[in-house]
A and B are shown apart, each in its own frame.
Chain A
Amino acid sequence: DSGVTQTPKHLITATGQRVTLRCSPRSGDLSVYWYQQSLDQGLQFLIQYYNGEERAKGNILERFSAQQFPDLHSELNLSSLELGDSALYFCASSVGNRAHEQYFGPGTRLTVT
């Protein structure tokens, strides 16, 4: 158990809908990273927040957005969902901006039907 929690574990929704994935980092960690893992694309970095501020952006679609709250938990919002958005979404956290010391959460499996 890495200490990073993600909810929900599984999510099944229809195309066009909007969902919110939640992540609580390890105690004391200020950075939160979001990743998408699909069968054909592998694990892809989406976005990083550090102490409430966006720090780095990867291949995140405009339909996706994220934020980190004052209590340091983070949410990833996915809207206008398409079949291709079906994937495992991981959150990871680290103490500072030390990307090599990330601890991954168990992931949320999103299925878009």
Chain B
Amino acid sequence: EDKVVQSPLSLVVHEGDTVTLNCSYEVTNFRSLLWYKQEKKAPTFLFMLTSSGIEKKSGRLSSILDKKELFSILNITATQTGDSAIYLCAALPYTDKLIFGTGTRLQVFP
């Protein structure tokens, strides 16, 4: 059965810290890995990774995919209180049915 596992489940840090969120997957006909940020309600798209080893960056956030070891990481540097959210990763197989992990809850305190 296809599955996506995220770790840690929860993370509490102080502003300015750097965090690394992990996502591993076992998905048949894997195509891409997506990261989302979920604050109060709807998930919002962060990154899509299709090729192994190519880092994607957006400001203080960056992500990379390892298709050999079947995992991805999301890094957030110099965290701010506005980064507090649930971060979801999702595997996208060629069936186009997104398979989500249960998420990592990040809390950033001043």
What chain A residues lie within 8 Å of B103 (beta carbons)? 42-43
The binding surface of chain B is classed by DSSP as strand
What chain A residues lie within 8 Å of B98 (beta carbons)? 45, 99, 102
Contact between chains at A56 and B32 (CB < 8 Å) = no
Q: A interface, how many residues as a size bin? A: 20 to 34
Q: At the interface with chain A, which of B17-25, B39-47, B63-71, B73-81?
A: B39-47
B85-99 residues at the A interface, CB under 8 angstroms: 88, 90, 92, 95-99
Please give the distance in Å from B20's CB to the nearest CB on chain A: 20
Q: Count residues of B near A (Cβ-Cβ below 8 Å).
A: 20
Which residue of chain A has its CB nearest to the CB of B6?
A42
Interface residues of B (CB under 8 A from A): 32, 34, 41-45, 48, 88, 90, 92, 95-103
| 30 residue pairs from A and B, CB less than 8 Å apart | A4-B42, A42-B88, A42-B100, A42-B101, A42-B102, A42-B103, A43-B43, A43-B88, A43-B90, A43-B103, A44-B100, A45-B97, A45-B98, A45-B100, A48-B96, A48-B97, A56-B95, A88-B41, A90-B42, A90-B43, A99-B96, A99-B97, A99-B98, A100-B32, A100-B34, A100-B92, A102-B45, A104-B42, A104-B44, A107-B42
